[in-house]
Amino acid sequence: MSWVGEIFKATLAAVAVFTFLAVVAAMLGVYLERKISGWIQSRLGPKHVGPQGIMQTMADTVKLLQKENIVPANADAITFTVAPLLAAVAGLLAWIIIPFGPLFGRIIVVRDINIGLLFFIAMASLIVIAILLGGWSSNNKYALLGGFRSASQMISYEIPLALAVLVPVMLAGTLSTVGIVEAQRGGWLGIGNWFIFGLPGNRWLLIPGVLAFLVFLTAATAEVNRVPFDLPEAESELVAGYFSEYTGMRFALFQLGEYAEAFAMAALTTVLFLGGWHGPLLPGVVWFFIKLFALVFVLMWVRWTYPRLRLDQLLHLSWKGLVPLGFLLVLVTGWLLV
């Protein structure tokens, strides 16, 4: 009965990933978000619950768990309930292919599948459906507008995201995340072979490497609906966008999905361009988390640096800027590799 064992293992892995996400992505993510926002605005941020306010998110979660789950009177109840679950599950599934680094002689990854990156992008595209359905089923015009904005934005930015992913895929010759990180092993201080610096034998690839990194980071920021691309949930225009009507744990599930996705994008950037767990001196897993949190910090830094784009500017940036640039990068990379 090996398949029963497999299902058992898969369930355990799902529980582990979920716990990890709930703790690291949602709890720490919200805490860091508030703390860093505070520092940037010359305030202290959360301070009272626990040392340096570190338990603040815990207290918020307890508060959210006690809240009533309200379904608006004219909302489509089934869709309204399913949408946050879909968002959280898709955000969770994206983590399956992220390798954290070697620990006790084996690489920590839930499943190293041979279509890993394709799977990741597919899961990112499933979140669109959750947001669209959540926005529509709330029966609220702000929520609906947020859902529509989000759908057009995320579909537009999926294309540059996929094109930017193609550059490291072409350099490594595989879609498996572990394979891509292994291809970046070695070099000067364990840094020299990162794909952002091109290949050791061909330093001209540095140009498409850096550009693809920037395109990926921009598209990823838009894909997870963060400032300056946060039109779907623009507080000053749409209340809270697609989750205006959500309360209690369903609201928390949407937040969890969003933070899980944002952290997953940062983790994937690390894997694709910054050498995954490779680095000098420190153990691999530590390096992975250093790079991950550095990128998360960049995401939060950008949030308080740039103003929000208008919808037309947003779509222009994708279709007239990033998509042509992405195609050009794929072409140039192929040309340099041959």
Q: Which residues bind other proteins (CB under 8 A)?
A: 1-4, 6, 76, 78-79, 113-115, 118-119, 121-123, 125-126, 128-129, 132-133, 136, 144, 148, 151, 155, 158, 175
52 or 79: CB nearest other proteins? 79
158 or 261: CB nearest other proteins? 158
181 or 196: CB nearest other proteins? 181
128 or 317: CB nearest other proteins? 128
| Structure token digits, residue 179 | 């394979």
129 or 206: CB nearest other proteins? 129
Cα 175 to Cα 90: distance, rounded to the nearest angstrom: 20
Backbone angles phi, psi at 50, to 5 degrees: 75, 175
53 or 147: CB nearest other proteins? 147
Cα 294 to Cα 308: distance, rounded to the nearest angstrom: 22
32 or 92: CB nearest other proteins? 92
Cα 321 to Cα 164: distance, rounded to the nearest angstrom: 13
The CB-of-94 to other proteins minimum distance in angstroms stands at: 12
